[in-house]
Amino acid sequence: MISVEDWALIRRLVAEGVPQRQVAKDLGVGRATVARALASDRPPKYERPAVSTSFTPFEPHVRQLLKDHPGMPATVVAERVGWTGSITWFRDNVRRLRPEYRPGDPAGRLTWLPGDAAQCDLWFPPRKIPLEDGSKALLPVMVITCAHSRFILGRMIATRHTEDLLLGMWELLGQLGRVPRRLIWDNESGIGRGKRHAEGVGAFTGTLATTLQRLKPYDPESKGIVERRNGFFETSFMPGRDFTSPADFNIQFTDWLRIANGRVVRTIKTRPVDLLDADRAAMLPLPPVPPAVGWLNRVRLGRDYYVRVDSNDYSVDPAVIGRFVDVTADLSRVQVRHERRLIADHDRVWARGMTITDPAHVASAQVLREEFQRPRPAADPDEGLVRDLADYDRAFGLIDGGLTDGGLTDGGPADSADGEEVA
């Protein structure tokens, strides 16, 4: 068998007009070899003839198992057929046979029209962020990527609760200035599970006049744009950075996204900022009335005069103890109102299990407590006896000191039973 180099040289020399006999003489090969090289339309390839191996006796049984159970692990197959040899060798042979029985799962190529969709996801930076109480935590980052332009928006949020997810989406859509016609999510618990959206998600998308599409399980390709951006953040944004707080993270991340959105994306061969205007033009406008998002609760304020948001307690003016108050919170503020009057305003704390107190509320509670504990003066026992005694006479049938209906009248003597005057 000749080498690939000799095969190519024979064909080139003959094509240049060198006689086949001369080519065979110059290369030291037989004329039959030259003829075979000219007749072959592909380079020579060495192929080892098939021989029986230690796996050959087991192959029919393995094929039958893979036919019935294409996903059966190779170790289980080896146990079922009684294999006692090298498990690595057995795995290699099972890997060679499995594609013949496992159905294919082709990935469809998606085309994203301007304004059609934005892919949403949570990215967890692999570094803990310092919080208000000195602790550190892994916090989620809400990421939205416009599918057509590949424009990226992102912001760190406090929790994965529905309230904070909707707050994050609304803030990023406000930065975008428009609303994509579809918001694509995976099965994030704060967005929904199964066939139902989480509480409040339907009202949110209804106000925006958009559609929230949750993907089926095991369908990562349909959200691959934003998933790849998460890996991009970890390799291009995170290395060499330190963060002092969630606010510091958001400042650095926002500044870096301006740079990232100005870089050419390989798949679309242009910069996201260059496609953003066309993408936004096909989107929906922001609603005239903002959606009701955030933490909303109505409670009767107890003697403790604190209200809870997420896992933290915030003080309220104790003057409204026993009355209903409305508690609202976003990503940065916690506010409490009574009959639309603001009675408490705090910075929202992202650490957990904390108590946040306004000193003015403590001082007000101390004044109220002293007034409640101050002894009251004793009441005068005769203070309440001011009713006219004639009222009691009327109540018992007495009028002007006489009896009515046959009793004493006008102070004169009464008649006897037999009509005689009494002396």
SS3 345: strand
Question: What band does 31 get if pLDDT is binned at 50, 70 and 90?
Answer: confident
Integer Cα distance of 349 and 133 in angstroms = 9
Average pLDDT (216-234) is: 83
Quick one: pLDDT band at residue 409, thresholds 50, 70, 90?
very low
Residue 416 pLDDT > 70, yes or no? no
Q: What is the mean pLDDT of residues 145-163?
A: 96
b/e per residue 91-103 (b: at least 16 CB within 10 A): eebbeebbeebee
Provide the 3-class DSSP secondary structure of residue 222.
helix
| Helices 74-81 + 87-97 axis angle, to 10 | 110
CB 298 within 8 A of CB 338: no
What's the pLDDT score for residue 122?
Answer: 95
254 band by pLDDT with thresholds 50, 70 and 90: very high
From residue 340, alpha-carbon distances to 319, 324, 411 in Å are 15, 11, 70
Position 410 confidence tier, pLDDT thresholds 50, 70, 90: very low
Which is it for strands 117-123 and 182-185: parallel, antiparallel or unpaired?
parallel
Nearest Cα to Cα of residue 400 among 410, 392, 388:
410
What per-residue confidence (pLDDT) applies to 221? 66
Extract the runs of DSSP E, i.e. beta strands, from 259-332: 284-285, 295-300, 306-309, 312-315, 324-329
Rounded CA gap, 211 and 227, in Å? 20
pLDDT at residue 47, as a whole number? 73
Is residue 286 packed enough to be buried (19+ CB in 10 Å), middle (13-18) or exposed (0-12)? middle
For residue 342, list its beta bridge partners: 337
pLDDT digits over 115-149, tens only?
999 999 999 999 999 999 999 999 999 999 999 99
pLDDT tier, 190 (very low <50, low <70, confident <90, very high otherwise) = very high
Q: Are 261 and 285 in contact (CB under 8 A)?
A: no
Nearest to 365 by CA among 309, 302, 308: 302
Amino acid at 97: L
What percent of the chain is modeled with pLDDT above 70?
Answer: 89
Q: Mean pLDDT across the stretch 97-118?
A: 83
Q: Which tens digits make up the pLDDT trace of 326-350? A: 999 999 999 999 999 999 999 999 9
| Predicted TM-score of the model (pTM) | 0.67
Whether pLDDT at 419 is above 50: no
Q: Which residue has the higher pLDDT, 21 or 155?
A: 155
State yes or no: pLDDT of 279 exceeds 60. yes
Domain residue spans in the chain?
A: 4-39, 56-100, 117-285, 295-373
Between 6 and 314, name the one with better pLDDT: 314
**CATH of segment(s) 117-285:** 3.30.420.10
pLDDT, mean over the chain:
87
Note the helical H segments in 237-358.
246-260, 272-281
Model pLDDT, residue 40 = 84
Supply the pLDDT for residue 400.
56
| pLDDT range class, residue 384, cuts 50, 70, 90 | low
**pLDDT-based confidence at residue 386 (cuts at 50, 70, 90):** low
Please check the confidence at residue 302 and state whether its pLDDT lies above 90.
Answer: yes
Contacts of 304 (CB under 8 A, 6+ apart): none
Burial state string for 372-393 with b = 16 or more CB within 10 A and e = fewer than 16:
eeeeeeeeeeeeeeeeeeeeee
Would you say 188 and 312 are in contact if contact means Cβ atoms under 8 Å apart? Answer: no
